[in-house]
Amino acid sequence: MAQSSSGRKKPNVLVTGTPGTGKTTTSSFLAEATQLRHVNVGDLVRDKNLHDGWHEQFDCHVINEDLVCDELEDMMEEGGNIVDYHGCDFFPERWFDRVVVLQTENSVLYDRLSKRGYTGAKLTNNIECEIFQVLLEEAKDSYPEDIVVALRSDTIDDINRNVATLTDWVRNWCPKPE
């Protein structure tokens, strides 16, 4: 194929970041504003059993990346999706027109995750993930630099601004010539 994103009439956006940075909140507002489809990968994995069981140590499902990609392929080909997940290196590069990495100040994130019931290693692992910018590095390693954008997500104002910025971007997006 000559163009990596040819054929899509609407863009695909990936919203990634450490758990608690606001991916699901941001994605659902963005879906409402743009009429794109919000795909919450965590929910999909659970609902369609796209996993290889439960990871006792990390207290989460062991996601089966091949099953997830097979499940999403047709939808992604069609375009018009907002994919919400705390990982991004196993999706095909050609799927996305924009990769958004949400970032949250450590103490703010700590409070959010504590409220969600995270404690011990699960809490500290996620805070370290944010401190070391693991998701930003993963996104930069996996996608072209010019489609990756890091956005701050500390406050409600940040969410509103991020949704407005991304809505503008979606509305101005043009399909690539084939």
**How, if at all, do strands 148-152 and 98-103 pair?**
parallel
80 is in an annotated binding site: no
Q: Based on the shown chain and the rule CB under 6 A, indicate whether residue 158 belongs to the binding site for ligand ADP.
A: yes
* Smallest separation, CB 21 to ligand ADP (Å): 5
The one among 8, 11, 20, 130 contacting ligand ADP by CB under 6 A: 20
Closer Cβ to Mn ion, 24 or 125, answer by number: 24
* Nearest C-alpha neighbor of 42 from the set 150, 116, 106: 116
Beta strand 37-40 with 60-63 is unpaired
What's the half-sphere exposure (Cβ side, CA atoms, 13 Å) at 173? 24
Is 20 labelled as part of a ligand binding site? yes
Cβ of residue 85: shortest distance to ligand ADP, in angstroms? 9
CB nearer to ligand ADP: pick between 84 and 173: 84
**Residue 25 marked as a ligand binder:** yes
With binding defined as CB under 6 A, does residue 125 bind ligand ADP? no
Which two three-digit tokens encode residue 74? Answer: 């047709």
Q: In what order do the strands lie in the sheet with 13-16?
A: 37-40, 81-84, 13-16, 98-103, 148-152
Residue with tokens 């970032």: 103
Q: Is 7 annotated as a binding residue?
A: no
8, 23, 38, 98: residue in contact with ligand ADP (rule CB under 6 A): 23
112 binding partner (options ligand ADP, Mn ion, none; Cβ < 5 to 8 Å by kind): ligand ADP
Query: Is 5 a residue that touches ligand ADP (CB under 6 A)?
Result: no
Do 20 and 64 contact (CB within 8 A), yes or no? no
> Quick one: what does residue 65 bind among Mn ion, ligand ADP, none, with the CB cut-off 5 to 8 Å set by partner type?
none
CA angle 92, 97, 103 (to 5 degrees): 90
Per CB under 6 A, residues contacting ligand ADP are 17, 19-25, 112, 153-156, 158-159
